[in-house]
Amino acid sequence: MAYPDGLLGADEHVVVHKHPHWKMLIVPVLVLFVVVGGGSYLAALAAPTDWHVPVWIGLAVVGAVLVVWFTLSPLVRWRTTHFVVTTHRLMVREGVFTRSGIDIPMSRINSVRFRHGLLDRILGCGTLVVESASDEPLEFDDIPQVERVHTLLYREVNDDPRDDRDYRAREGY
């Protein structure tokens, strides 16, 4: 069973399921290239010396720590962050070891807005702002296809089953 199917109610269906936009992985990939390139360069500099083996081991350890901390960790964080719109609620889940999440029933959402600057428009992402019955609006950054998600979420919030063509036909409208 794929995520989030195990979290859904009997008559609940997934409308949108997204991970954050891939732009949040640009810096971790650049760090990977710098660590590998810099480590290779320093290893090549140490090769002609008599103590090159301990230097290589030290470079490998430092490089591995940097790659795990600055590349693998953001990749796993990106992969385990879920933004899900269902027919009944908005769900956001994030985290690896310590999971956190929020569920907002559609009936509690007051308004849905989005914003994106020039770079976000070029990359096709943005920030989704959801105002619910709580005091502060919730902002979800780096949502891919934010305008489409905004439209779908707005439709789900304002969805009236009586607007459905099949419902009207069954009820004789």
**How many H-runs (helices) and E-runs (strands) does the chain carry?**
6, 7
The confidence band for 173, taking pLDDT boundaries of 50, 70 and 90, is very low
Nearest to 39 by CA among 17, 14, 13, 58: 58
Q: How confident is the model at residue 171, as a pLDDT?
A: 47
83-171, what's its fold?
PH-domain like (2.30.29)
Higher per-residue confidence, 6 vs 32: 32
SS3 content of the chain, % helix, strand, coil (to 5): 50, 25, 25
The confidence band for 2, taking pLDDT boundaries of 50, 70 and 90, is low
40-69: average pLDDT: 93
148-162: average pLDDT: 81
Buried b vs exposed e over 145-168: b needs ≥16 C-beta within 10 Å?
ebeebbeebeebbeeeeeeeeeee
Q: Percent of the chain scored above 90 by pLDDT?
A: 60
The confidence band for 81, taking pLDDT boundaries of 50, 70 and 90, is very high
Q: Which residue has the tokens 């976000």?
A: 120
The confidence band for 51, taking pLDDT boundaries of 50, 70 and 90, is confident
For the chain, what are the domain ranges? 25-77, 83-171
29-53: average pLDDT: 93
Question: Which parts of the chain fold into alpha helices (H)?
Answer: 26-46, 52-67, 73-79, 118-123, 146-157, 165-171
pLDDT tens for 113-125 read: 999 999 999 999 9
Buried b vs exposed e over 62-101: b needs ≥16 C-beta within 10 Å?
ebeebbeebbeebeebbeebbbbbbebbbbbbbeeeeeee
Q: How confident is the model at residue 56, as a pLDDT?
A: 93
Residue 112 has pLDDT above 80, yes or no: yes
Q: Are residues 140 and 83 in contact, defined by beta-carbon separation less than 8 angstroms?
A: yes
